[in-house]
Structure 1
């Protein structure tokens, strides 16, 4: 393996990037990632998912390097089973989010202390991760105390989630980081909590600079990460607005896009 650019770490989004549309990681991709890890390159999963739903993919890849979860609100160390960094929304903001949910047809999913909460009616709203209906807990949000969401997410029609986004922007401005991870998945984190800021924080812990990092993503919540890393790579299935901020483009997530681009840039080829 040449590694002619001196890359020390690779950060990879899950949905639409590392995962195929069938929500699997191909054997070719796993072999590629394990090859670079065997050659001393760190691999970090950087996802909007919760730790619970990301863990099985982290284990499947076999990386022990810390992961970025909840769109940058948490850095988790799988080797020691602990958070290295974790930030949550202020309780007054959480209360406002709950109040909005009471009159909205969009379903609120909230993550707190690595637990997922939703109302019974919203149990199956997360169609991208059907297992969440079983791993989460149906509750009455008015009875949850304290309220300190790591991330809140409204799942519903775009017109409704756009309305909620406008409300929160007007009320809280830059104190919140508001982003879509999917067409109708509107996510709310505290201001400054992005994949990019978390990745920078993580790499600083290991003395790794942005020009030594490769990052892969496909969605709006990957923008900051792709612009921070010198080798910011958008997937072929990414929207044009994401490709426009990336330094390079990979093939589709259903075409081993991550594996092919890593092999191309790192200068090696594995047998099919």
Structure 2
């Protein structure tokens, strides 16, 4: 029997218009209120871009942000777990990424820092609507001066066409960091050992829930670790074949009520909820 459900946001919880469908909110309410489910979100987003969605679906467990680098109770503001990239490692990471020609996005106190405004950094900034962005002309010097640590770094590659991240660079990065590809050309980078999977395990252990009782749902590279951890790791129909290969079940797309499909197949198979019932 399942007792905990953890969902990604982009491409999973949100539809093609970037909204949480009303049906999805109603289904989650049924699970939470009538089935006693623990429900939360695991996202690569920063807190400032995830909290409103978490409140909208009324999560009843701490929120996982920055791919697991921050676990926070959004109702009490208590930061339960923080695992940022420390200053020394952050400098090493920035140096390596710049050496390979990537634009580096660093997170600081729910703002983002870039070294310049250009096509690549603007591409990323445009996805972070409403988030403060500051230019620091020398990122390494900035990190040194502020002794800055960062929950996550985003490395922006070519935005005009798909250029896969070189295998040699991935190998070097993975010695000290967790790396999730983003649209093949870009990378989300966290401290080694930090992932959605490790964060979901942390919460499940805190609630004394076994991994076999956990359902996780996602569509991206940064979801793979939690799909592999959960007793039931589910990939969205809009996920790539690589992501689907790590899932135990593939549901419908984020525009086809994939959550309802999951509930009917694995949670209430004898009852079969329909959209008309919600």
Normalising to structure 2: TM-score of the pair? Answer: 0.86
Q: Report if aligned partners of 1:10, 1:215 keep a CA contact under 8 Å in 2.
A: yes
Segment drifting more, 59-68 vs 259-268:
259-268
Segment drifting more, 88-97 vs 217-226:
88-97
Q: Report if aligned partners of 2:165, 2:185 keep a CA contact under 8 Å in 1.
A: no
**Secondary structure of the structure 2 residue equivalent to 1:162:** coil
Hey, which of these two has a bigger chunk of helix by percent? Answer: 1
Counterpart for residue 132 of structure 2: 135
**Secondary structure of the structure 2 residue equivalent to 1:62:** coil
Counterpart for residue 103 of structure 2: 107
Q: Report if aligned partners of 1:124, 1:130 keep a CA contact under 8 Å in 2.
A: no
Unmatched 5+ stretches in structure 1 = 1-5
Segment drifting more, 228-237 vs 257-266:
257-266
Structure 2 counterpart of 1:93, from 63, 84, 89: 89
Mapping of residues 54-133 of structure 1, within 5 Å:
54-100=50-96, 106-121=102-117, 124-126=122-124, 129-131=127-129
Deviation at 1:124, TM superposition (A): 2.4
Q: Which string of whole-angstrom CA distances, capped at 9 and with x for unpartnered residues, describes residues 15-45 of structure 1?
A: 1111123211111111111111112111110
Q: CA RMSD in A?
A: 2.3
Q: Report if aligned partners of 1:8, 1:212 keep a CA contact under 8 Å in 2.
A: yes
CA distance in 2, matches of 1:109, 1:259: 36
Counterpart for residue 253 of structure 1: 254
Q: Report if aligned partners of 1:232, 1:246 keep a CA contact under 8 Å in 2.
A: yes
CA distance in 1, matches of 2:203, 2:264: 24
**Secondary structure of the structure 2 residue equivalent to 1:35:** helix
2:171 equivalent to 1:169: yes
CA distance in 2, matches of 1:88, 1:186: 16
Deviation at 1:101, TM superposition (A): 5.4
Counterpart for residue 37 of structure 1: 32
CA distance in 1, matches of 2:71, 2:273: 31
Unmatched 5+ stretches in structure 2 = none
CA distance in 2, matches of 1:43, 1:8: 9
Q: Report if aligned partners of 1:89, 1:148 keep a CA contact under 8 Å in 2.
A: yes
Deviation at 1:113, TM superposition (A): 3.9
Distance 1:208 1:89, change over 3 A: same
**Secondary structure of the structure 2 residue equivalent to 1:53:** helix
Mapping of residues 9-28 of structure 1, within 5 Å:
9-28=4-23
CA distance in 2, matches of 1:93, 1:217: 29
Deviation at 1:104, TM superposition (A): 6.1
Normalising to structure 1: TM-score of the pair? Answer: 0.87
Deviation at 1:223, TM superposition (A): 1.0
Q: Report if aligned partners of 2:31, 2:37 keep a CA contact under 8 Å in 1.
A: yes
How many residue pairs get aligned? The number is 264
Counterpart for residue 228 of structure 1: 229
Q: Report if aligned partners of 1:75, 1:83 keep a CA contact under 8 Å in 2.
A: yes
Higher relative contact order (CA 8 A, sep 6+): 1
Q: Report if aligned partners of 2:105, 2:113 keep a CA contact under 8 Å in 1.
A: yes
CA distance in 1, matches of 2:203, 2:128: 30
CA distance in 2, matches of 1:185, 1:89: 18
Q: Report if aligned partners of 2:32, 2:39 keep a CA contact under 8 Å in 1.
A: yes
